[in-house]
Amino acid sequence: MVNNNHLSDSPVRKMVYAALFASMTAVGAYISIPVGMVPVTLQTLFVILAGAVLGARWGMLSMFIYVLLGVVGLPVFSGGSSGLGVLVGPTGGYIIGFILAALVIGYLFENFQSKSIAGMVAIFLVGMLAIYIPGYLQLMYVASLGVQETFALGVAPFILGAVIKIAAATIIYRYLKTESLV
């Protein structure tokens, strides 16, 4: 009997996919539009797909690898930045949120197996919140901003992009599911 679920074949395959998602997240950092202190990047698309495709454990691990690569000095954060200073700076909460989002999305997909578009969108939305909440809180703290100013700088400019990325992730994930690639 042939197993069509390619991601469950072996731990080695899962490690390769985790490394691939970490790499795609790094590439997504270079697709960046500067908007104040927090740039718009393509990273969050790969973060939410990592959780959906890899599941909680491997999705979280892929984002942990991504963060670790940046901390040790590889230029994988937005604008080619790196180092521990980025994690304690204004955008660090969003980056830490990547790990949380992949974990949450993976957990929700593993435990609720939503086949409806609305269910997938809801899970991806929860994942985006797992990125934006720690990002918002750290931006507010580090930049000493008020609640409304932080929202205006750290959340509002990204809402349309988040909607587009959630739609794209839903389409991509449904395609991968239909083709039995996940």
Tens of pLDDT along the chain (182 residues)?
Answer: 334 454 556 889 899 999 999 999 999 999 988 887 788 899 999 999 999 999 999 999 999 999 999 999 999 999 899 999 999 999 999 999 999 999 999 999 999 876 799 999 999 999 999 999 999 999 999 999 999 999 999 999 999 999 999 999 999 999 988 877 66
- pLDDT for res 179: 78
- pLDDT for res 112: 87
Domain spanning 6-178: which CATH class is it, in words? mainly alpha
Helix, strand, or coil (residue 113): coil
- pLDDT for res 121: 96
- pLDDT for res 92: 96
- pLDDT for res 3: 42
* Polymer length of the chain: 182
Helix, strand, or coil (residue 41): strand
**How far apart are alpha carbons 81 and 71 in whole angstroms?**
10
Each domain of the chain, given as residue ranges in start order, spans: 6-178
**How far apart are alpha carbons 84 and 79 in whole angstroms?**
15
**How far apart are alpha carbons 21 and 81 in whole angstroms?**
19
Parallel/antiparallel/unpaired status of strands 32-33 and 40-41: antiparallel
Whether the Cβ atoms of residue 24 and residue 41 lie closer than 8 Å to each other: no
